[in-house]
Amino acid sequence: MTISIDHLIWMYETMYKIRYYEDKMAEAYAEGKNPVFNIGAGPVPGEMHLATGQEPAAVGICVHLKKEDTVTSPHRPHHHAIAKGVNLNRMTAEIFGKVTGLGKGKGGHMHLFDPDVKFSCGGIVGAGIPHALGAALAAKKKGTDWVAVAFIGEGAANQGAFHESLNMAALWNLPLIVVIENNQYGISVPKSASTSVPSNDIRAVAYGIKGYYVKDNDPIEMYNVSKEAVERARKGEGPSIIEIETYRYLGHFQGDPEVYRDKNEVALLREKDPIVRMRQFLMKEHGIEEQRLIELENKARQEVEAAYQFARESDYPEPEDALKDLFV
């Protein structure tokens, strides 16, 4: 499948931006939490789940989406949010708990909502799938060609919401795509110990829908299968499952001792880093000069640095703001 240079450049720049953003977040999160880890200390208290290494899953499909398409994300959401175009300043401010954040500083990193680009996330495993299903139903009832994408981890594919939503999506022929990021571990449990099938794409046959599998965290293959899935959904050909074999370089959460995996595992994974591979692919296969990539990297870093500065300089909410924007 031929991929336009514009799409390739966007994918590389966005993957680089995501990586730099997550690296900066790891640094910010660690502030005040050493030498003894204190989850409530520092400028970013609470849990933190980073997606370093999982960038291809986000960019490979979001490159095919438009503003009107819906994306739902789980507790590890930053790469999806950035790829969908969530406002980086307001997203970062939200994570820092500032009043300029997407949720006025009340939601934090697992509760990012940006209606301008139809993005949301939540910390309950599998909970975003029914939300995306509802968006897909709305898109069909409105007679649009919009699609809905639900990102989940491989552990969430064993939740009831996964099966119930896909059954309904298939029954009503809805434009829903469930992207399963198989990063090999559900918290600390390896997939082989929790899931009865080798890959979740084969579960698609149970619902009479299309299933795809992307090996080895490959952004180009993710682009290709996502293109087909999105085009099918827009044409009214129904839902799909995409499982991508991906890898997280960090723990399930920041502070995770990671005693469940071999001490050499991450080093071996980094040897086939998807951003390095993509950079080499652009230069060798498409003749893109390194200077152009350096300029893109500089642009991405500047955008991220500006977002962190915005967040740090923004004000915290006033105490009385805790009683505002409530349903009851």
Name the β-bridge partners of 177. Answer: 149, 240
**Do 90 and 114 touch, CB atoms closer than 8 A?**
yes
Q: Is the pLDDT of residue 1 over 90?
A: no
Q: Whose structure tokens read 């040897």? A: 271
Cα-Cα-Cα-Cα torsion 8, 9, 13, 14, nearest 10 degrees, comes to -40
**Start-to-end C-alpha separation, the chain:** 53
Strand-strand pairing, 185-186 and 189-190? antiparallel
Percentage of the chain modeled with pLDDT above 70:
100
Nearest alpha carbon to residue 148 among 86, 90, 69, 227: 69
pLDDT of residue 327: 82
pLDDT of residue 181: 98
Q: Is the pLDDT of residue 178 over 80?
A: yes
Q: Is the pLDDT of residue 292 over 80?
A: yes
Average pLDDT over residues 203-218: 98
Q: Whose structure tokens read 């994300």? A: 73
Coil, strand or helix: which one is 180?
strand
pLDDT of residue 150: 98
Residue 326 pLDDT level (bands cut at 50, 70, 90): confident
Average pLDDT over residues 154-169: 97
Q: What is the pLDDT of residues 55-111, one digit of tens each?
A: 999 999 999 999 999 999 999 999 999 999 999 999 999 999 999 999 999 999 999
pLDDT of residue 199: 96
Residue 36 pLDDT level (bands cut at 50, 70, 90): confident
pLDDT of residue 262: 94
Q: Is the pLDDT of residue 285 over 80?
A: yes
Strand-strand pairing, 119-121 and 113-114? antiparallel
Q: At what angle do helices 219-234 and 274-286 cross, to 10 degrees?
A: 90
Quick check: pTM over 0.95?
yes
Strand-strand pairing, 176-182 and 148-153? parallel
Residue 143 pLDDT level (bands cut at 50, 70, 90): very high
Domains within the chain, CATH numbers bracketed: 5-314 (3.40.50.970)
Average pLDDT over residues 283-309: 97
Q: Is the pLDDT of residue 318 over 80?
A: yes
pLDDT of residue 192: 92
Q: What is the pLDDT of residues 4-35, one digit of tens each?
A: 999 999 999 999 999 999 999 999 999 999 88
Rounded to the nearest integer, the mean pLDDT of the chain is 97
Q: Is the pLDDT of residue 328 over 90?
A: no
Q: At what angle do helices 88-95 and 290-313 cross, to 10 degrees?
A: 50
